[in-house]
């Protein structure tokens, strides 16, 4: 018997549990995804800490804390993967601008800013507001910029 799996429903059920567990360890889940690849289900959790790097032990501890509870909430066989988001991972949601506030990013715009030609530059996230946009300190000229959210094509963490 094959039953349909609503991945959005499952994500709605498991997200509060994952967020609470991550917070107990001092982490923020940057992204949670439940996807089917090659006929197998994967629950992937990407953790971030503003204080320190995420270690393999951290991922293992979170996995152990979650697995029994998740097994009760997810009605199919799945693989649980817990990791850090990676050093130069593209942002997948607006909330990441707040999570990574104070960090260096590489930013690609849809249109150059008024009076400029470049659409790609590096800077530090100063603040983010869903209505006003991203406030960034641009490295090449030391200028503070406010970029409307609709002009952001992509962003990713940037390492020197």
pLDDT tens digits, one per residue of 13-23: 999 999 999 99
Q: Is 24 helix (H, G, I), strand (E, B) or coil?
A: helix
pTM of the complete model = 0.75
Q: Give the distance between the most distant pair of CA atoms in the chain.
A: 62
Residue 96's alpha-carbon distances to 30, 55, 125, in angstroms, are: 7, 20, 10
Tens-digit pLDDT profile for residues 45-55 = 999 887 888 99
Tens-digit pLDDT profile for residues 46-96 = 998 878 889 999 999 999 999 999 999 999 999 999 998 877 778 888 888
CATH T-level fold of 95-157: SH3 type barrels. (2.30.30)
Residues of the chain with CATH 3.30.300.70: 7-83
DSSP tally for the chain: helices H, then strands E: 3, 8
Judging by beta carbons within 10 Å of its beta carbon (0-12, 13-18, 19+), is residue 21 exposed, middle or buried?
buried
- 7-83 carries CATH number 3.30.300.70: yes
Dump the DSSP string for 46-80: EEE-SSSPPPHHHHHHHHHHHHHHHHHH--S-EEE
Residues of the chain with CATH 2.30.30.180: 95-157
Across the chain, mean pLDDT equals 90
How crowded is residue 133: how many other Cβ atoms within 10 Å of its Cβ? 19
Tokens 């996995």 sit on residue? 63
């Amino acid at each position: 018997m094959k039953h349909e799996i609503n991945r959005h429903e499952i994500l709605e059920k498991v997200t509060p549990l994952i967020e609470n567990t991550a917070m107990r360890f001092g982490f923020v889940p940057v992204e949670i995804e439940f996807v089917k690849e090659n006929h197998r289900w994967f629950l992937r959790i990407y953790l971030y800490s503003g204080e320190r790097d995420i270690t393999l032990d951290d991922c293992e501890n979170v996995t152990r804390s979650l697995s029994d509870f998740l097994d009760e909430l997810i009605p199919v066989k799945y693989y649980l993967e817990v990791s850090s988001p990676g050093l130069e991972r593209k942002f997948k949601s607006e909330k990441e601008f707040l999570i990574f506030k104070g960090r260096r990013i590489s930013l690609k715009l849809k249109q150059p800013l008024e009076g400029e030609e470049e659409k790609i530059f590096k800077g530090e996230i100063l603040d983010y507001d869903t209505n006003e946009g991203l406030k960034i300190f641009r490295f090449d000229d030391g200028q503070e910029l406010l970029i409307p959210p609709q002009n952001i094509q992509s962003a990713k963490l940037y390492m020197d």
